[in-house]
Structure 1
């Protein structure tokens, strides 16, 4: 008997499995089974390589319906999304999206319908990847902007105290080596070398953290 399977991917804290299922049921889908991946990137991890995503390839059979909130749940990589949709269509599986109510069915033989369908798959897969790249770029820009404001971005908290820093500087000025300073202060040799190579930056880090 044909079944309807919802595939959900939860990649951030503001997404939930229940929300994706509620949306699908509100759109009129009667879900027989839910398959979900949590904390998995749609950009770097192919559908077939995800713990639960790869189950779909064994679970779905001809006549089944695969429901996703939108194609970005299948992935954020153009090739992965388009290849996955075409693979399921070749297996006789119908793919439906909750958002916009899209249907991808491999049973049509009409060349015009096939062309329209394939163009739509390509467009939606490309859109999913473009959105992911735009989000990533915005996050990078936000971090870069925040780095210019010490109240917003202070970097990692120093592993040394002000007293240790002063001791290190004094010993370095006296010509002491990193190993001797490490033994004296209790800090790692790598920490001593980082301070030696960037005294100004190390002191600035203390100031940013109010140390």
Structure 2
């Protein structure tokens, strides 16, 4: 019997990687009854939307080597935000290597001996929407920065998630996506205390992000 691989990926500097790891770990050990010794975790922290990632490559090598029985991810977009890459992953994992693929947020799984065309179709649709969402976010980021640039140069310390570019205008920094995700979680009702604990961002900074919501609103819609 091969191992169960957990694949976790984040595209910002927040700590949701730990949350993904916990969700997939609990699923494997509690729901599937897999022994901890038979679980292997593969992780990536990146900003790209393709599958050219070290953790992903290591996972695929293990799949090709025949040491993996199933792959577990928290959601489709963690495997890839590209429909083409997701389709290639499904084909390589499930069809070629006969390894199971479990997607937790949808409660769906593809097993090589129980391949359900409806499940495959649902996952394909989910991948399509994940890619669309990523594309819209990138476009809104460009438009939002351009709109802010029209307002004039920034003076003083830039807000969390921004940097001041060479020409004196605000540009998205490394923590921009994290700030947007914090706003999203606040809208869902999560407390500032809980967010501070989970993301490592100070409560005072979270309050500042909320107060400057208009700076991030283009990407939080």
TM score, norm. by length of structure 1: 0.62
1:33-182 superposed matches below 5 A: 33-41=40-48, 43=49, 45=50, 47=51, 49-60=52-63, 61=66, 64-90=69-95, 91-108=97-114, 113-114=116-117, 116-150=118-152, 152=154, 155-157=165-167
Higher strand residue share? 2
Which consecutive unaligned segments of at least 5 residues does structure 1 have?
Answer: 159-211
Structure 1 residues 56 and 63 mapped into 2: Cα distance closer, same or farther (>3 Å)?
A: closer
Distance in 1, matches of 2:68 and 2:56, equals: 19
Give the Cα separation in 2 of the matches to 1:5 and 1:40: 22
Structural RMSD (CA):
2.3
Match of 2:13 in 1: 13
Deviation at 1:68, TM superposition (A): 0.7
Shift of 1:24: 2.0
1:104–1:6 Cα change, 3 Å: same
Deviations 1:28-52 (A, max 9, x none): 32261111112241x2x3x2x3212
CA drift of 1:118 comes to 3.1
- Report which structure shows greater RCO (CA 8 Å, sep ≥6): 2
Partner of residue 169, structure 1: none
Higher Cα Rg: structure 1 or 2? 1
Please state how far the C-alpha of 1:82 moved relative to its aligned partner: 1.2
Q: Is the 8 A contact 2:3 2:67 kept in 1?
A: no
Task: Return the alpha-carbon distance in structure 1 between the equivalents of residues 154 and 103 of structure 2.
Answer: 39
Q: How many pairs were matched up?
A: 149
Deviation of 1:78 after TM superposition, in Å, equals: 0.9
